[in-house]
Amino acid sequence: MLNPIAVFNLKKSINRIDWKLLLFLLLFLDVKTGIKIAAIVIIYLLRFDFKFGFSFKNSRLPLFYPLIMLIPLISLVINKGYTNPDYLLVFITGMGFWLLCLLAIHQVKLAVENSETETIHRTILVFFVLNAIVCFFNFAAIVWETGALNPYRYQGEYQKYFIGTGDYIKGITFDTSTTNAALNALGVLYFLIRRNNPMVLVCMVVLLFTCSNFLNMSLILLFSLLFIFRTTRDQKSIIVVCLVLMVVFIGRISPQNDKYVVKTIDEAIKIPVGGDSKTVAAVTCTNVPTLEETRKRIAQNYLDSIWRSHRKKQALVKPTTITALPKTEQGRIFIDTADINSLPYQSIVDTTPVQHVLLNFIDAHAASLPLSAQKTFKPGRPGKVITFFQTAAFFQQHPAKIVAGAGMGNFSSKLAFRATGFGFAGGYPQNHAYINTDFLTNHLDVYLNFFGRRASLHSLTNSPNSVYDQLLSEYGLLGLLAFAIFYVWFFARHAKAFTYGLPALLLLLLIFFTDYWFEQLSVIVFFELLLFLNIKEADNKTLTSYGHQ
């Protein structure tokens, strides 16, 4: 027989969560675009409302979204993009992405307006708990596959995991590990200010498991600011605990990431000696051997190993050579084994199917690819740094485009990558593939230069992805101004009343350097939920204070 009290408590707990919002977050943050669209359809069927409330004074939603959809129309007319049917499909697709952003933020705002703040907080808590559970299973699956309790040091399977283990901790969104890291970095800040210490530690552990060096460094910066200006003694203590966890993880669990960060920073700030801007741009990556050179090296190593083995067998016949056997400092003889850190063991040297597509494309367009078409390379700056120089050089050569940009999908965006038809940024009709010349000779060239080579170069620091670069290059100064005034300031004007909202805003401005987050349709909507919730709390607090006067 059911206990009536237990049934009542269960029903009460269910009612204390906004299930519509939770379902929307779980579906909309999924990596598949089709599932995101389904999430929008479902949530509007459940909560039908199209009253956006845009206004130049006290706008309900950021005016950035309608403005950023207006600017490409200007570029379409100026650049006469409407004359190209393939570009028109790119244009419509890009508008579709911005429309999804607008529809998503409207539903997030409705959820905050129609629910109590504590209901939203409990919904957010449930989301992070579910995400942590999925991340645990991600990690457990890797341990089961490798048989290593610490896969961050596991160098088997051609170092499939090792330093790249974090790439497989994708969480409940099944998106990139960077998306998971960004969400959990937001979670750390949110729960820290909310004084939910267990959840701070849960989100911190998940963040560390993703091995996102950029997010770790960003969090250290924000921890420092919070420690000095906006935290209590207890909050300072949990910040110290988080930093200790980070030090232990870097020092004991995944020490190779520390070396990787130092090397990346060194390459980013390195100033090439001599040469003009084109020469500087051409100096792009580490000295990576070609596939043919790699095979020759492996064959040579194999022949050398046979020769050494033959010499050792001969040496065993002669007692006089026994003293030459390799020994430890204690005099113990050891057997010379394969060096797992050598090139053949570090990564698979065979070209992957995706790389075959990229390499074939490079061969077919070598004349237009000054970087990726080169056979030999010298050490230089990371790809992300190079792309910012490319954008600056582009506007020096085309000053007329600095106002409204090169046009949506024409220079730097997930849309531009998707329209290539390569398949690495989502599906796109092959018979309508579109690559603008400005994109081809700049950011696509940089991408091919790094991601068409060894897996060790496939990193965040070498990708051209950046919200700032996208807004400036494709939407011009109008796009940047619309973003600064009608998006950042829309939230930043509440900074004095913010609690977790201010560090969340600062974190978002930092992660905008790492990807095309508006087109990612993931982290942004969660950020906007936190900001709207914090604004509502601040307004409620203001009304309460007036009521007591």
Instruction: Transcribe 346-361 into DSSP letters.
Output: HS--SPPHHHHHHHHH
Question: How far, CA to CA in Å, does 106 sit from each of 71, 117, 301, 486, 539?
Answer: 21, 17, 62, 16, 19
Does residue 319 sit within a domain?
no
Structural domain of 505: 4-48+115-264+494-548
Does residue 361 sit within a domain?
no
| Amino acid, single-letter form, for residue 68 | I
Neighbours of 294 (CB within 10 A): 17
Could you tell me the maximum CA-CA distance found in the chain, to the nearest angstrom? 101
| Beta partners for residue 327, in sequence order | 333
**Structural domains of the chain, count:** 1
Q: Assign 276 a pLDDT band (cuts: 50, 70, 90).
A: very low
Could you give the count of Cα atoms lying within 13 Å of 47 in the half-sphere of its Cβ? Answer: 22
**192-201 pLDDT, tens digit each:** 999 999 999 9
Does residue 242 sit within a domain?
yes
From the list 258, 198, 191, the residue with the least C-alpha distance to 226 is 191
What is d(CA 541, CA 537) in angstroms, rounded to the nearest whole number? 6
What is d(CA 168, CA 502) in angstroms, rounded to the nearest whole number? 30
**178-190 pLDDT, tens digit each:** 999 999 999 999 9
Does residue 485 sit within a domain?
no
Neighbours of 436 (CB within 10 A): 22
Q: Assign 542 a pLDDT band (cuts: 50, 70, 90).
A: low
What is d(CA 176, CA 387) in angstroms, rounded to the nearest whole number? 22
Does residue 395 sit within a domain?
no
**419-429 pLDDT, tens digit each:** 998 877 778 88
Whether residue 218 has pLDDT greater than 50:
yes
Q: Assign 225 a pLDDT band (cuts: 50, 70, 90).
A: very high
Q: Assign 275 a pLDDT band (cuts: 50, 70, 90).
A: very low
From the list 45, 40, 167, 20, the residue with the least C-alpha distance to 101 is 40
Neighbours of 511 (CB within 10 A): 23
Q: Assign 338 a pLDDT band (cuts: 50, 70, 90).
A: low
Cβ-based neighbours of 40, under 8 Å, separated by 6 or more: 28, 100, 103, 104, 107
Beta strands in 61-176 (DSSP E): none
**Phi (first) and psi of residue 232, to 5 degrees:** -85, 180
Q: State the average pLDDT over residues 160-180.
A: 90
**Phi (first) and psi of residue 333, to 5 degrees:** -75, 135
Share of the chain above pLDDT 70, in %: 77
Whether residue 362 has pLDDT greater than 80:
yes
Q: What DSSP string describes 513-542?
A: TTS-HHHHTSHHHHHHHHHHHHHHHHHHHH
**Three-state SS for 549?**
coil
What is d(CA 117, CA 57) in angstroms, rounded to the nearest whole number? 25
| Beta partners for residue 424, in sequence order | 426
Whether residue 226 has pLDDT greater than 80:
yes
pTM of model > 0.85: no
Does residue 168 sit within a domain?
yes
**Three-state SS for 333?**
strand
Cβ-based neighbours of 279, under 8 Å, separated by 6 or more: 272
What is d(CA 357, CA 422) in angstroms, rounded to the nearest whole number? 7
Higher pLDDT: 272 or 487? It is: 487
Q: Assign 519 a pLDDT band (cuts: 50, 70, 90).
A: very high
Whether residue 343 has pLDDT greater than 60:
no
User: What is the model's pLDDT at position 334?
Assistant: 53
Neighbours of 396 (CB within 10 A): 10
Does residue 293 sit within a domain?
no
User: What is the model's pLDDT at position 105?
Assistant: 97
What is d(CA 20, CA 114) in angstroms, rounded to the nearest whole number? 11
**Three-state SS for 192?**
helix
Q: What DSSP string describes 143-181?
A: HHHH--S-GGG--HHHHSSGGGGGGG--GGGTS-HHHHH
Q: Are 29 and 175 in contact (CB under 8 A)?
A: yes
Whether residue 154 has pLDDT greater than 50:
yes
Does residue 63 sit within a domain?
no
**Three-state SS for 190?**
helix
User: What is the model's pLDDT at position 277?
Assistant: 41
**99-122 pLDDT, tens digit each:** 999 999 999 999 999 999 999 999
Q: What is the mean pLDDT of the chain?
A: 83
User: What is the model's pLDDT at position 119?
Assistant: 96
Q: What DSSP string describes 416-453?
A: HHHTTTSSBTB---GGG----HHHHTTHHHHHHHHHTS
Structure tokens at 341: 């850190």
From the list 515, 536, 507, 254, the residue with the least C-alpha distance to 384 is 515
Q: State the average pLDDT over residues 443-462.
A: 82
